[in-house]
Amino acid sequence: MHLISIPKEIIDSCIKRRGKLHVFEKINPLKTALIVIDMQNSWVKPNMSVLEIPKTRGIIKNINDIAETLRNAGGHVIWTKSTFNCEWTLQMYENYADGNIINKMMVETSEEHEGFKIYEKMDYKSQDVICKKYRPSAFIQGSSDIEKVLKEKDCDTLIISGTLTNACCESSARDAAALGYKVLFLSDGTATRTDIEHNAALINLMQLVADVRTTRDVIDLIQKM
């Protein structure tokens, strides 16, 4: 798990701007969805893929705990499963990654590959929803049908978890907020490569995009109802 470190000046700035550190003092579990971003074998399983993020294995229990709590309170759990096996991947990453790495990314997240599956230790239940995702953000045009699912379930509040903190999780949180959703972002239920990247994303998000919270905080909010 990441060592979380938010500078005092950022905390003070948030409090000055809105009069308090945290945004939401209560949520309605019935209208809330836990969004689990890309906790698939390619990112979580040891030694399977070039995409592996070892710190994902430290957030499994926190995600599972919130999922169970939210289900018991009548809320919803939605899992995204990313695949990079499309032309878009070449267009997006050709200037940022070696061709061999891009090819491995595409193969190791293809729907036929073991890497596409949700990691075995994740507490996926039959009543949960899976949304295939083709872009970093789950909410951008052409990425997934997650908005349709959320509207069908009448959800207005999202809890963002999964990986990578500063990529798919952050971009999904930003787009969701821009679409009008209330967004909570798990500081200890998201993971990326380094503490530096993780904290930078939290600092960016907590100011104007999402209520950055711990697992314990969010469980308490769910159980207040």
Report pLDDT for 125.
98
Res. 86: pLDDT tops 80 = no
Give dist(CA 112, CA 114) in Å, integer. 7
DSSP 171-197: HHHHHHHHTT-EEEEEEEEEE-S-HHH
pTM of the predicted model over 0.85: yes
User: Average of pLDDT values for 14-25?
Assistant: 96
Looking at the 3D structure of the chain, how many domains does it have?
Answer: 1
The more confidently predicted of residues 156 and 98 is 156
pLDDT at 225: 65
25 located within any domain: yes
**Could you tell me the residue range of the domain that residue 106 belongs to?**
8-224
31-83 pLDDT, tens digit per residue, is 999 999 999 999 999 999 999 999 999 999 999 999 999 999 999 999 999 99
Give the CATH number for residue 70. Answer: 3.40.50.850
In a domain, 1, yes or no: no
Residue 13 domain-assigned (yes or no): yes
17, 132, 196, 201 from 6: Cα distances, Å: 16, 33, 11, 10
In DSSP terms, which residues pair with 185 in a beta bridge? 160, 212
Place of tokens 């949180």: 173
In the predicted structure, residue 88 carries a pLDDT above the cut 90? no
Is 91 within a domain?
yes
How buried is residue 207: exposed, middle or buried, by Cβ count under 10 Å (0-12/13-18/19+)?
Answer: middle
The reply to whether 179 falls in a domain is yes
With a pLDDT cut of 90, the percent of the chain lying above it is 90
Q: Tokens 């009448």 correspond to what residue?
A: 154
Give the residue with greater pLDDT, 212 vs 92.
Answer: 212
The yes-or-no verdict on residue 91 having pLDDT over 90 is: no
Nearby residues of 195 by Cβ (< 8 Å), 6 or more positions away:
2, 3, 4, 5
CA dist 39 and 41 (Å) reads: 7
Amino acid residing at 11: I
On whether residue 177 sits in a domain, the answer given is yes
Helix (H) or strand (E) holding 158: strand 157-163
pLDDT above 90: residue 90: no
* Sheet strands (E) in 16-73: 32-37
| Helix (H), strand (E) at residue 208 | helix 195-208
Average pLDDT for 120-126: 98
Residue 2 covered by a domain: no
Q: What local confidence, expressed as pLDDT, does residue 13 receive? A: 97
Instruction: Work out the pLDDT band at 145, boundaries 50, 70, 90.
Output: very high
Residue 3: inside a domain, yes or no? no
Task: Let me know: does 138 contact 148? Beta carbons within 8 Å.
Answer: no
Residues 6 or more apart whose CB falls under 8 angstroms from that of 44 comprise 52, 53, 56, 57, 60, 119, 122, 163
- Give the pLDDT of residue 87: 78
What value does the mean pLDDT of the chain take? 96
